[in-house]
Structure 1
Amino acid sequence: MEYNTDRTQLHMPEYGRIIQQLVERCKELENREERDEMAVAIVDFMGQRNPQLRDEDNYKHKLWDHLFILADYDLEVTSPYPIPTREQLAEKPKRMEYPKLQGDFKFYGKSILQLIEKAIELEEGEEKEALIEVIANNMKKSYNIYNKEHVTDDVIFRHLKELSEDRLDLTGLESLEKSKIYHSTSRNKNQKGQGPTQHSKNPNRHRNQQNQNRRK
């Protein structure tokens, strides 16, 4: 009886023992053409056994990389893609840089920074002022949603100045109409929750009056 501990190690268990054995058989072939043909057949078989990979980008490239991993990087075949090495696949990915928008201003979002850069590039005029209004409106909405409190326009302009690294100073800009800046409106409590009117307090009042008249 053959135990798994006596068999060749599975370098990628998700492909199973059968594909691992096929790869080992491919390595033993002395003829290069036969190895190339068998390698192509194995890659196609791997794709059939793992159809979910077809939804990924460059899935064929990944299958060929997996083939060399299964062969423990010891397989001389003609590959349509660069042959990976153990060192390349073991290399750690580069550390991703954190977004510039952090700390107290993270709730504004990256799109605000992009809009600010666009506004800085524009020449003075109506188009630039219109974009500034869009930026201020979105900043104020984001602030109110995240902090759940009212914020004045001056605070928004101060934040905008800091986010733009003083390249977009709106703190003293008089041409921007503050009436166009978003203001959070609270619901009128008396409008929706007001009490019943004098006539709606007693819906049977009119009917009772008629009955009294009949008795008279």
Structure 2
Amino acid sequence: MLTYNTQLKHLILPEYGRNIHQMVDHCLTIEDRDERTRCANSIIASMAKLFPKIREEEDYQRKLWDHLAIMSDFKLDIDWPFEIPEADHFNSRPDKVPYTAEHIRYRHYGKDVELMIQKAVSMEEGPERDELVLLIANHMKKLLLSVNSDGVEDSKIFKDLAEYSHGALRLDPETVRLHEFKIVAPPSTKKKKKR
């Protein structure tokens, strides 16, 4: 009956292959400590020959010895040339990244637009603030066009801007015109036929 790899022992570091893992398993069964150390050195030499590019790395010997420790499940009792890390060091999970779960009123605008509007509200009235409000409104129109390709009315943008700023930022639809953005179709990936 055939033996399939799925029926064999799981490889901890599969990039080294089954033969290296069998060498490590054999090394664990050797009773003499000096003989085990010599066997481990020969395994390291074989691992380095499998990946000659690893020698270009700065601390490649340490990396190979760490891999040997991992493959032996940290049970190999030899004279290690480097201090091997604890098994917990490799099995520990990183700390969870704390994400803020803030509510975004209109997802198509995103959180950055909300922050820009807050910044514009906190500025003193003047030409710099007016220019920033106009830039924000144009950006909002562009973002809304990305989800609504049928077209966007300027009055919708002005209404949303006033709502976001609680009435502090108002643009007059009679005097202010936003840019007209055109949706450009992506280029075709089909090759043209030769005639």
State, as a whole percentage, how many aligned pairs show the same letter.
26
SS at match of 1:154: helix
Distance 1:41 1:134 in 2: 63
Which residue identity lines up with residue 44 of structure 1 in the other structure? A
2:14 pairs with 1:13? yes
2:33 pairs with 1:30? yes
Q: Quick one: which of 45, 48, 58 aligns to 1:44?
A: 48
Distance 1:59 1:112 in 2: 46
Give the match for residue 188 of structure 2. none
* 1:160 CA displacement: 3.7
Distance 1:120 1:137 in 2: 17
Distance 1:103 1:173, change over 3 A: closer
* 1:156 CA displacement: 2.8
2:183 pairs with 1:181? no
* 1:135 CA displacement: 2.2
SS at match of 2:107: helix
SS at match of 1:105: coil
Give the match for residue 130 of structure 1. 131
* 1:26 CA displacement: 5.7
Which residue identity lines up with residue 72 of structure 1 in the other structure? D
SS at match of 1:179: coil
| 8 Å contact kept, 2:104–2:111 | no
* 1:70 CA displacement: 1.3
Give the match for residue 107 of structure 2. 106
2:161 pairs with 1:157? yes
Distance 1:115 1:73, change over 3 A: farther
| 8 Å contact kept, 2:109–2:144 | yes
Which residue identity lines up with residue 30 of structure 1 in the other structure? R
Distance 1:157 1:23, change over 3 A: same
| 8 Å contact kept, 1:136–1:156 | no
Structure 1 residue runs of 5 or longer lacking an equivalent are: 187-216
* 1:138 CA displacement: 1.3
Structure 2 residue runs of 5 or longer lacking an equivalent are: 184-195
Distance 1:63 1:117 in 2: 54
* 1:22 CA displacement: 3.9
CA RMSD of aligned residues (A): 5.0
The structure with more helix, counted as a fraction of residues? 1
Distance 2:48 2:163 in 1: 57
Distance 1:79 1:139, change over 3 A: farther
Distance 1:108 1:143, change over 3 A: same
In our comparison, the structure showing a higher alpha carbon Rg is 1
Query: Superposed, which structure 2 residues align to 1:72-87 within 5 Å?
Result: 72-75=73-76, 77-79=80-82, 83-85=85-87, 87=88
